[in-house]
Amino acid sequence: MGPYPILDALLEKRISLACLPTPVEKLPHLSDELGVALFVKRDDLTESVASGNKIRKLEYLLYDAKEKGCDMLITCGGVQSNHCRATAAVAVRMGMGCHLILRGDAPKVSGGNLLIDRILGATVSFYTREDFKRLHEIELETVAAFEKKGRRPYLIPMGGSNATGSLGYIRMMEELKTEEISFDTIYCALGSGGTYAGILLGLAWAGLRAEARGIAVCDDAAYFKNEVARIFDEFKQQYNLTFPDGRFEVNADDRFVGEGYALNTPDELQELIRIARLEGLILDPVYTLKTFLGMMQQIREGAIPPGSTVLFVHTGGHYGIFPKGEEFRPLIEAEAKG
Ligand SMILES: Cc1ncc(COP(=O)(O)O)c(C=O)c1O
Q: Cβ contacts of residue 114 below 8 Å, gap of 6+?
A: 79, 80, 85, 102, 107, 124
Which DSSP string do the residues of 68-107 spell out, in sequence order? TT--EEEEEEETT-HHHHHHHHHHHHTT-EEEEEEESPPP
The ligand 1 atom nearest the CA atom of 57: 10
Query: Among 22, 58, 192, 286, which is best to mutate for testing ligand 1, by the most ligand atoms less than 8 A from CB?
Result: 192
Q: Whose CA is nearest to atom 13 of ligand 1?
A: 191
Helix (H, G, I), strand (E, B) or coil at 155: strand
Distance (Å, whole) CA 61 – CA 284: 25
Q: In the prediction, which pLDDT does 165 show?
A: 98
Distance (Å, whole) CA 232 – CA 226: 10
Query: Among 43, 79, 187, 195, which is best to mutate for testing ligand 1, by the most ligand atoms less than 8 A from CB?
Result: 195
Q: Where along the chain do its domains lie?
A: 5-49+161-337, 54-159
Do 5-49+161-337 and 54-159 fold alike per CATH?
yes
Is residue 157 in contact with ligand 1, taking CB distance under 6 Å? no
Q: Which helix (H) or strand (E) holds 11?
A: helix 5-11
Q: In the prediction, which pLDDT does 299 show?
A: 98
Find the 189 Cα to ligand 1 centroid distance in Å.
6
Q: Whose CA is nearest to atom 7 of ligand 1?
A: 191
Q: Which residues of 155-171 are buried (b: 16+ CB within 10 A; e: fewer)?
A: bbbbbbbbbbbbbbbbb
Question: SS in 3 state form for 215-240?
Answer: EECCCCHHHHHHHHHHHHHHHHHHHC
Bridge partners of 38, per DSSP, are: 310
Is residue 153 in contact with ligand 1, taking CB distance under 6 Å? no
Local confidence pLDDT in tens for the 338 residues of the chain: 555 788 899 999 999 999 999 999 999 999 999 999 999 999 999 999 999 999 999 999 999 999 999 999 999 999 999 999 999 999 999 999 999 999 999 999 999 999 999 999 999 999 999 999 999 999 999 999 999 999 999 999 999 999 999 999 999 999 999 999 999 999 999 999 999 999 999 999 899 999 999 999 999 999 999 999 999 999 999 999 988 777 889 999 999 999 999 999 999 999 999 999 999 999 999 999 999 999 999 999 999 999 999 999 999 999 999 999 999 999 999 887 87
The ligand 1 atom nearest the CA atom of 316: 1
Is residue 187 in contact with ligand 1, taking CB distance under 6 Å? no
Q: Cβ contacts of residue 187 below 8 Å, gap of 6+?
A: 213, 214, 215, 291, 292, 294, 295, 310, 311, 312, 313
Is residue 81 in contact with ligand 1, taking CB distance under 6 Å? no
Find the 2 Cα to ligand 1 centroid distance in Å.
29
Find the 286 Cα to ligand 1 centroid distance in Å.
9
Distance (Å, whole) CA 333 – CA 109: 24
Query: Among 42, 82, 84, 324, which is best to mutate for testing ligand 1, by the most ligand atoms less than 8 A from CB?
Result: 82
Q: In the prediction, which pLDDT does 300 show?
A: 98
- Cβ neighbours, 10 Å, residue 240: 8
Q: In the prediction, which pLDDT does 278 show?
A: 98
- Domain 54-159 belongs to what topology? Rossmann fold (3.40.50)
- Domain 5-49+161-337 belongs to what topology? Rossmann fold (3.40.50)
Bridge partners of 97, per DSSP, are: 72
Q: In the prediction, which pLDDT does 335 show?
A: 82
Catalytic residues: 81
Q: In the prediction, which pLDDT does 2 show?
A: 53
